[in-house]
Each structure stands twice: as structure tokens, then as C-alpha cells.
Chains A and B, each alone.
Chain A
């Protein structure tokens, strides 16, 4: 995934942003010692779910009798087939619909509705004409880990010799400071990061590490502080 980012001198470049996976040391083998894989399969569809069975039989007792007698919940021809390339669609009483109006219902932590508004789908802002901004706002690593939960991480990687120097210098600077840098997006460089259209917004922090002639630049994404919910804080105080 490309990312357009600027450095401390306000020079920008498009480099690669790569996902980080957890280290996995365990894998499974079948009795012949061959590797196995996990596949998604069809278990049931909407024509055979409980709602549909109830429409025909009205009472749960009748449904249970039918389940024992005829297996109406199973389509022997299709259930169990492997699924790949599925898509998500909106369905109303009229079947699949292609035009919908979406609303966001904002709820408070106690479940009460705060606001209902038309859905805003923010476009991604990591690879636009406006590079991610080197805000110059640093936070010591020791302080950051006590304040934020870093829900997700990505790694920045160079795409040629010029961008190697560009990113290496960034990493070296941040490593020396022992700090994370707040990174912002948008024309004015004041917006949180949105990785995909309609995706979640994140506060993004850049961490740099160097080891000899190699570097590691990590983009930490956070949408949560490290703190207790109010209800828990109140309970502790009492």
C-alpha cells in the first residue's frame, strides 16, 4: 500500500506501507505430516434459517418436529461447499438492493443514543496530494505507552535508493529522540489517519529504530486511551 509522507524538512515521498502480522510459531500437520489449511464453507443460507422455517410452520414445536423428520434446515446439494470471493450486499424485503441510505447511530457507553446522522464515508488520506505531516510533536515512548493503546501497526519500507535515505534519516532521528512522532493527515495536517474509504479514524504515531545500516519505521495506530471506563473508576472510588 503506498503512503505519501513528509519528513522534518517538509520533503515528501511515496513509500510502501506494509501490514505487520503476529509471529506464529505453531502450525498443524495431518497424520501424514503434510500441512493443512483452513477453508470457509457454507453452513446455512437465509432460505433455511429459523425465520424461514417459522414462516411455514408458525410454532417452534412444529419446527422441531420437522427438523427431526425431514431436515428442512439442510440443503444437501449446497451446504458444505467451500466459499471464496463472497461479497457483502444490502437486503431488504424486496431482496438485494443497490441503492440505500445509510445512517450512523452514535451510542454512549451506556447504550443510549447520542445522535443519528447520515453516514459520512471519509476517503482514505494516507496517499493523497497532501502528504502525511511530520507535525514535530513528539511524545516520549515511556509516556506514550502509559497513555495510549496501539491497536494496530504498519511498517514503512523504502521503494528505491532515494527513499531508503529518506526513511533511514527519519528512523535515526526518532531513535535518537527515544520518542514517537504524532503524524497527521489532510490539507492542513490536522486530521487523524484514515486507511481506507469509510474506515476507522486513528491517531497515528511514528516510531523509528536503527541497527547499523538497517532501519525499522513503525506506524502505530491508536483509537483508544489506556484508561478505565467511568463506571469502573466510580466503582473503584466508592
Chain B
């Protein structure tokens, strides 16, 4: 059994299991099949710049290189922040309680979403206290790292109906633009909408 994530709100702790949710689990998936002119199956492969080398899945790798193009082992690298100061590694969020802080909707809307999880009670402990707070429209956040690493992502705990979700992502580099910051290019009837009007089965 996976180790639960412990959330802490107002001094109360809630161990939860994370269940990853994606579009495929909600609506299904679309797979592309192809056949050639003779009706034989065709599959996509990567063609190298030489025009003849064909590469299958797993046929490429990423390497870290220095300024002069020499490959360098990652263990030789040091991580620094934007000021050039060494970065202290962060622990996994599963290693201790995670204190929930109230969050604002605009902070949530400013993040680029990486993963969505449903929060399920672990160890038979109810989430009623947390769900009650979420149902009043509260939203919480905390720094999150699944396995530990160099920096935290931001996790937002959001309620939807009776359920609790955790949405993990990174803050986007949003920019307030002024008149002199122009980019270079290469009357409707008002009404409130119901979310149920929207079709998400966009297959």
C-alpha cells in the first residue's frame, strides 16, 4: 500500500491517498491507426536529419552538455537559483504533515497544471472536516514534491461537490503589459452560464 499524504488543517491531520485523474479515465481516448496504399499497417517513427536513420520509441536520450558540447554527468552539476545561490534540496511531501494555507482563486488560476488527483481517505479516517471547509468555497495550497528534488511545485486543494481534489502545477510567468510593450506578429447578450451546458466529450 502506498504511503498516504498527510494534510494538516487547523491542527487536524488527514492522511489521504492520491488517485491520479486524467482525461483518458474520464472520457476515454482516441488512438490513431494508419494503413498504407496496400492496406498494410503503418506506424509513426522519427526520421533523423540524415534522411535515412529511422528511430523507434525509446531510441533517443537526453544528455547534459557543457557550453563546448561535451557531455557531462549530472552528478558533477550544481543547482543554483536565479541569484546564483546554491539550492537546498526539498524533501518529499510524503515525509511529513503538509500544512494547508488559505489560497486565492487568482493564485490557482495563475498556475500551469501538471497533475490532478482525487483525495481519498486513508487509514479509514474521514475527511469530513476538510470537505466541510472546501464546500464553503475555501481553497488551500501548500508546497508539494512527490519524490523530493530541487524545488517544490504548488498544490491546491479544491472541493467540487462532495469530492476533494489536489491540483499540482507551477506558477506561470504572467506579465502585466503596458502600452509600450506591444508584441510583434509573425455585443452579445449577457447571461450567466451553467457549467453543465459545456460539452467535454470533445472527441
A209–chain B nearest beta-carbon distance, Å: 7
In the bound complex, residues from chain B placing their C-beta under 8 Å from that of A146 are 158-160
Which A residue sits closest to B45, measured CB to CB? A91
B112 adjacent to A46 (CB under 8 Å):
no
A145 and B108 contact, CB distance less than 8 A: yes
Residues from chain B with Cβ under 8 Å of A15 in the complex: 183
Residue among B22, B80, B200 having the largest count of chain A Cβ atoms under 10 Å = B200
Q: Are A158 and B46 in contact (CB under 8 A)?
A: no
Q: Are A149 and B176 in contact (CB under 8 A)?
A: no
* Residue from the list A82, A159, A203 in contact with B200, Cβ < 8 A: A203
| B158 CB contacts on chain A under 8 angstroms | 145-146, 226
Contact partners of A20 in chain B: CB under 8 A: 112, 172-174
Contact yes or no, B87 A108, CB < 8 A? no
Q: Contact: A136 with B177, CB < 8 Å?
A: no
Task: Select which of A16, A105, A142, A232 is within 8 A of B183 by beta carbon.
Answer: A16
Are A227 and B42 in touch, CB under 8 angstroms? no
Q: Which residues in A have their C-beta under 8 angstroms from that of B129?
A: none
Residues of B within 8 A of A200 (CB): 202
A150 to B23, CA, bound (A): 12
Interface residues of A in 1-56 (CB under 8 A from B): 1-2, 8-10, 14-16, 18, 20-23, 25-31, 34-47, 49
Chain A contacts for B53, CB-based, 8 A: 42, 45, 78
Contacts of A119 in B (CB 8 A): 32
The answer to the question of B12 belonging to the interface, with a C-beta cut-off of 8 Å to chain A, is no
What size tier do the contact residues of chain B reach?
35 or more
A residues within 8 A CB of B105?
141-142, 145
> B30 at interface (Cβ–Cβ under 8 A)?
yes
Partner of A226, one of B27, B38, B165: B165
**CB-based contact B139/A145 at 8 Å:** yes
> A236 in the interface, Cβ–Cβ < 8 Å?
yes
Q: Give chain A residues whose Cβ lies under 8 Å from the Cβ of B184.
A: 16, 159
B138 → A minimal CB distance (Å) = 10
Q: Which residues of A contact B160 (CB under 8 A)?
A: 146-147, 226-227
- Chain B residues within 8 Å of A9, by CB: 187
Q: Verify if A228 is at the interface (C-beta below 8 Å from B).
A: yes
* Contact indicator B30/A105 (Cβ below 8 Å): yes
Contact between chains at B183 and A44 (CB < 8 Å): no
Docked-complex contact A214 and B59, CB < 8 angstroms: no
Q: Decide if A92 touches B40 in the complex (CB within 8 Å).
A: yes
Residue in B44, B150, B159, B163 whose beta carbon sits within 8 Å of that of A26 in the complex? B150
Among listed B3-11, B93-101, B189-197, interface-contacting one: B189-197
- Contacting residue for A10 out of B29, B36, B188, CB 8 A: B188
6 additional contacts, CB 8 Å, given A83-B60, A210-B176, A224-B26?
A26-B150, A28-B77, A94-B36, A94-B40, A119-B32, A158-B177
Which B residues touch A151, using CB under 8 A? 113
A109-B27, A159-B185 known; A36 vs B202 contact (CB < 8 Å): no
Q: Known A40-B61, A102-B34, A182-B193; judge A28-B79 contact (CB<8 A).
A: yes
Kindly list the 7 A-B residue pairs having the minimum CB-CB distance in the complex, ordered from nearest: A136-B188, A22-B170, A16-B183, A214-B176, A157-B183, A201-B202, A92-B42
CB neighbours (8 Å) of A152 from chain B are 112
Question: Within the assembled complex, what's the spacing in Å between the Cα atoms of A146 and B184?
Answer: 36
- Please determine whether B47 and A87 come into contact, CB atoms closer than 8 angstroms: yes
Q: Any chain B CB within 8 A of the CB of A176?
A: no
Contact between A106 and B203 (Cβ–Cβ < 8 Å)? yes
Q: Which residue of A lies closest to B65 (CB)?
A: A39
Quick check: A226 and B116 within 8 Å, CB to CB? yes
Residue of A nearest to B81 (CB): A25
Q: Which residues of B contact A223 (CB under 8 A)?
A: 23, 200, 202
* Docked complex Cα distance between A9 and B185 (Å): 24
Chain A nearest CB, measured from B187 CB (Å): 5
